[in-house]
Amino acid sequence: MKLSFIGCGNMGGALARRLAGAGHEVMVSARHEDKAKAKAEECGKNSKAGSVPEAVAFGDVIFLAVPYGEISSAIKSAGDLKGKVLVDITNALTPDFSGLAIGFTDSAAEQVARLAPVAKVVKAFNTVFAQVVANPKFAEGKPSAFVASDHADAKEKVMRLASDIGFESLDAGPLKNARLLEPLGMMNIFLGYVQGLGADKIAFRVMRR
Protein backbone atom coordinates (compact mmCIF):
# COMPACT_ATOMS: atom_id res chain seq x y z
CA MET A 1 0.00 0.00 0.00
CA LYS A 2 0.98 3.65 -0.33
CA LEU A 3 1.22 5.07 3.18
CA SER A 4 1.82 8.61 4.41
CA PHE A 5 2.66 10.13 7.75
CA ILE A 6 1.71 13.57 9.04
CA GLY A 7 4.25 13.62 11.86
CA CYS A 8 7.23 11.27 11.97
CA GLY A 9 8.57 11.59 15.51
CA ASN A 10 8.83 8.69 17.94
CA MET A 11 5.60 6.95 16.98
CA GLY A 12 5.14 8.02 13.35
CA GLY A 13 8.80 7.26 12.71
CA ALA A 14 8.59 3.78 14.27
CA LEU A 15 5.46 2.91 12.27
CA ALA A 16 6.95 4.31 9.05
CA ARG A 17 10.16 2.35 9.47
CA ARG A 18 8.42 -0.96 10.22
CA LEU A 19 5.83 -0.55 7.45
CA ALA A 20 8.50 0.43 4.89
CA GLY A 21 10.45 -2.61 6.06
CA ALA A 22 7.36 -4.75 5.41
CA GLY A 23 7.40 -3.61 1.78
CA HIS A 24 4.90 -0.75 1.78
CA GLU A 25 5.69 2.54 0.00
CA VAL A 26 6.01 5.32 2.57
CA MET A 27 6.12 9.11 2.46
CA VAL A 28 6.79 10.96 5.72
CA SER A 29 6.12 14.60 6.52
CA ALA A 30 6.51 16.85 9.55
CA ARG A 31 6.42 20.51 10.45
CA HIS A 32 10.14 20.73 9.63
CA GLU A 33 10.94 19.16 6.26
CA ASP A 34 14.61 18.59 7.18
CA LYS A 35 13.49 16.32 10.04
CA ALA A 36 11.18 14.42 7.68
CA LYS A 37 14.06 13.95 5.22
CA ALA A 38 16.30 12.54 7.96
CA LYS A 39 13.52 10.18 9.07
CA ALA A 40 12.93 8.96 5.50
CA GLU A 41 16.63 8.10 5.26
CA GLU A 42 16.38 6.09 8.49
CA CYS A 43 13.35 4.24 7.13
CA GLY A 44 15.27 2.83 4.16
CA LYS A 45 14.62 2.15 0.53
CA ASN A 46 10.81 2.22 0.36
CA SER A 47 10.50 5.66 1.88
CA LYS A 48 10.74 9.32 0.95
CA ALA A 49 9.90 12.69 2.49
CA GLY A 50 7.66 15.53 1.36
CA SER A 51 5.57 18.41 2.59
CA VAL A 52 2.36 17.59 4.47
CA PRO A 53 0.10 18.14 1.41
CA GLU A 54 2.49 16.14 -0.82
CA ALA A 55 2.37 13.25 1.63
CA VAL A 56 -1.42 13.39 1.81
CA ALA A 57 -1.67 13.37 -2.00
CA PHE A 58 0.71 10.36 -2.15
CA GLY A 59 -0.89 8.01 0.37
CA ASP A 60 -4.04 5.90 0.34
CA VAL A 61 -3.67 5.53 4.10
CA ILE A 62 -2.53 8.58 6.09
CA PHE A 63 -1.28 8.28 9.67
CA LEU A 64 -2.00 11.33 11.81
CA ALA A 65 0.98 11.04 14.16
CA VAL A 66 1.11 14.48 15.78
CA PRO A 67 0.53 15.51 19.41
CA TYR A 68 -3.18 15.85 20.28
CA GLY A 69 -2.87 19.65 20.53
CA GLU A 70 -1.75 19.78 16.88
CA ILE A 71 -4.53 17.75 15.23
CA SER A 72 -6.50 20.76 14.08
CA SER A 73 -3.55 22.63 12.57
CA ALA A 74 -2.16 19.44 10.97
CA ILE A 75 -5.51 18.62 9.33
CA LYS A 76 -5.88 22.22 8.13
CA SER A 77 -2.48 21.98 6.42
CA ALA A 78 -3.21 18.56 4.92
CA GLY A 79 -4.97 19.52 1.68
CA ASP A 80 -7.49 17.16 0.13
CA LEU A 81 -8.33 14.21 2.40
CA LYS A 82 -11.36 13.10 0.36
CA GLY A 83 -11.72 9.32 0.48
CA LYS A 84 -8.40 8.85 2.30
CA VAL A 85 -8.08 6.47 5.22
CA LEU A 86 -6.95 8.70 8.11
CA VAL A 87 -5.49 6.76 11.05
CA ASP A 88 -5.68 8.64 14.34
CA ILE A 89 -3.02 7.28 16.69
CA THR A 90 -3.20 10.15 19.18
CA ASN A 91 -3.67 10.01 22.90
CA ALA A 92 -5.56 13.09 24.03
CA LEU A 93 -3.41 14.00 27.00
CA THR A 94 -3.43 17.15 29.10
CA PRO A 95 -0.37 19.35 28.41
CA ASP A 96 1.39 17.98 31.54
CA PHE A 97 0.68 14.34 30.40
CA SER A 98 -1.00 13.60 33.74
CA GLY A 99 -4.44 12.65 32.42
CA LEU A 100 -6.92 12.57 29.57
CA ALA A 101 -8.00 15.88 28.03
CA ILE A 102 -11.34 14.43 26.90
CA GLY A 103 -13.44 11.34 27.52
CA PHE A 104 -16.76 9.61 28.20
CA THR A 105 -18.82 11.53 25.62
CA ASP A 106 -16.16 12.31 23.01
CA SER A 107 -12.72 11.17 21.84
CA ALA A 108 -9.78 12.53 19.87
CA ALA A 109 -10.74 10.19 17.01
CA GLU A 110 -14.26 11.62 16.82
CA GLN A 111 -12.78 15.14 16.88
CA VAL A 112 -10.52 14.13 13.98
CA ALA A 113 -13.57 12.81 12.09
CA ARG A 114 -15.36 16.14 12.64
CA LEU A 115 -12.26 18.07 11.48
CA ALA A 116 -11.89 15.83 8.38
CA PRO A 117 -15.43 14.75 7.47
CA VAL A 118 -14.42 13.63 3.95
CA ALA A 119 -11.84 11.13 5.28
CA LYS A 120 -12.45 7.60 6.57
CA VAL A 121 -11.13 7.89 10.12
CA VAL A 122 -9.73 4.85 11.95
CA LYS A 123 -8.48 4.73 15.56
CA ALA A 124 -5.49 2.45 16.03
CA PHE A 125 -2.04 2.09 17.64
CA ASN A 126 -2.72 4.53 20.51
CA THR A 127 -2.51 1.68 23.05
CA VAL A 128 1.04 0.61 22.15
CA PHE A 129 4.37 2.31 22.74
CA ALA A 130 6.67 3.30 19.87
CA GLN A 131 9.27 0.96 21.37
CA VAL A 132 6.82 -1.94 20.96
CA VAL A 133 6.09 -0.95 17.35
CA ALA A 134 9.86 -1.01 16.78
CA ASN A 135 10.06 -4.51 18.30
CA PRO A 136 6.73 -6.29 18.95
CA LYS A 137 8.26 -9.65 19.91
CA PHE A 138 7.12 -11.03 23.30
CA ALA A 139 7.51 -14.59 24.59
CA GLU A 140 3.75 -14.70 25.37
CA GLY A 141 2.73 -13.97 21.77
CA LYS A 142 1.75 -11.04 19.62
CA PRO A 143 0.53 -7.78 21.20
CA SER A 144 -3.03 -6.74 20.36
CA ALA A 145 -3.74 -3.91 17.92
CA PHE A 146 -7.23 -2.53 18.57
CA VAL A 147 -8.74 -1.00 15.43
CA ALA A 148 -11.99 1.02 15.54
CA SER A 149 -13.79 2.71 12.64
CA ASP A 150 -17.19 3.29 11.07
CA HIS A 151 -15.75 2.34 7.65
CA ALA A 152 -15.36 -1.41 7.17
CA ASP A 153 -12.97 -1.14 4.18
CA ALA A 154 -10.72 1.34 5.98
CA LYS A 155 -10.70 -0.77 9.14
CA GLU A 156 -9.78 -3.86 7.16
CA LYS A 157 -6.78 -2.06 5.56
CA VAL A 158 -5.45 -0.86 8.91
CA MET A 159 -5.95 -4.30 10.49
CA ARG A 160 -3.90 -5.76 7.63
CA LEU A 161 -1.13 -3.19 8.19
CA ALA A 162 -0.99 -3.96 11.93
CA SER A 163 -0.74 -7.69 11.14
CA ASP A 164 2.05 -6.97 8.63
CA ILE A 165 4.22 -5.56 11.42
CA GLY A 166 3.68 -8.29 13.99
CA PHE A 167 0.48 -7.41 15.88
CA GLU A 168 -2.67 -9.43 16.34
CA SER A 169 -5.34 -7.14 14.89
CA LEU A 170 -8.65 -6.96 16.71
CA ASP A 171 -11.82 -5.35 15.38
CA ALA A 172 -12.62 -2.90 18.18
CA GLY A 173 -15.96 -1.78 16.73
CA PRO A 174 -17.19 1.66 15.67
CA LEU A 175 -15.13 4.86 15.88
CA LYS A 176 -16.90 5.95 19.05
CA ASN A 177 -15.16 3.05 20.82
CA ALA A 178 -12.12 5.33 20.70
CA ARG A 179 -13.69 6.62 23.94
CA LEU A 180 -12.62 3.28 25.41
CA LEU A 181 -9.31 2.91 23.59
CA GLU A 182 -8.01 6.33 24.60
CA PRO A 183 -8.27 5.63 28.37
CA LEU A 184 -6.57 2.28 27.67
CA GLY A 185 -3.74 4.23 26.02
CA MET A 186 -3.51 6.40 29.14
CA MET A 187 -3.31 3.25 31.30
CA ASN A 188 -0.49 1.98 29.08
CA ILE A 189 1.40 5.24 29.68
CA PHE A 190 0.73 5.02 33.44
CA LEU A 191 2.00 1.44 33.62
CA GLY A 192 5.00 2.08 31.38
CA TYR A 193 6.22 5.33 32.90
CA VAL A 194 4.59 6.02 36.29
CA GLN A 195 4.68 2.43 37.55
CA GLY A 196 8.04 1.97 35.87
CA LEU A 197 7.24 -1.22 33.94
CA GLY A 198 9.09 0.20 30.93
CA ALA A 199 7.85 1.43 27.54
CA ASP A 200 9.89 -1.21 25.74
CA LYS A 201 8.72 -4.03 27.99
CA ILE A 202 4.92 -4.04 28.07
CA ALA A 203 1.96 -4.35 25.72
CA PHE A 204 -1.69 -5.33 26.01
CA ARG A 205 -2.68 -8.73 24.67
CA VAL A 206 -6.19 -10.16 24.56
CA MET A 207 -5.88 -13.87 25.33
CA ARG A 208 -8.36 -16.25 23.75
CA ARG A 209 -9.34 -19.92 24.18
The helix (run of H) or strand (run of E) holding residue 87 is strand 85-88
Q: Which residues pair with 161 in a beta bridge?
A: none
Q: Which residues pair with 3 in a beta bridge?
A: 26, 61
Among 62, 130, 147, 178, binds ligand NAP (CB under 6 A): 130
Q: How far is the CB of 59 from ligand NAP (least distance, A)?
A: 14
- Residues 46-85, one symbol each (x = binds ligand NAP by CB under 6 A, - = not), give ------x------------xxxx-x--xx--x--------
Nearest C-alpha neighbor of 169 from the set 87, 67, 62: 87
Of 70 and 150, which CB lies nearer to ligand NAP in the complex structure? Answer: 70
Of 66 and 154, which CB lies nearer to ligand NAP in the complex structure? Answer: 66
Region from 19-27, 89-97, 98-106, 152-160 binding ligand NAP, contact rule CB under 6 A: 89-97
Rounded Cα distance, 48 and 106, in Å: 35
Say whether residue 173 binds ligand NAP (CB under 6 A): no
Sort 85 into a burial class: Cβ within 10 Å, 0-12 / 13-18 / 19+.
Answer: buried
Say whether residue 96 binds ligand NAP (CB under 6 A): no
Of 9 and 79, which CB lies nearer to ligand NAP in the complex structure? Answer: 9
Shortest-Cβ-distance residue relative to ligand NAP: 9
Among 3, 43, 85, 89, binds ligand NAP (CB under 6 A): 89
Rounded Cα distance, 169 and 192, in Å: 22
DSSP 139-192: TT-PPEEEEEES-HHHHHHHHHHHHHTT-EEEE--SGGGHHHHHHHHHHHHIII
Say whether residue 186 binds ligand NAP (CB under 6 A): no
Say whether residue 31 binds ligand NAP (CB under 6 A): yes
Nearest C-alpha neighbor of 130 from the set 12, 8, 2: 12
Q: How far is the CB of 119 from ligand NAP (least distance, A)?
A: 16
**Measured at the alpha carbon of residue 61, what is the angle toward residues 60 and 63, in degrees to the nearest 5?**
145
Binding site for ligand NAP (CB under 6 A): 6-12, 30-32, 35, 52, 65-68, 70, 73-74, 77, 89-91, 126, 129-130
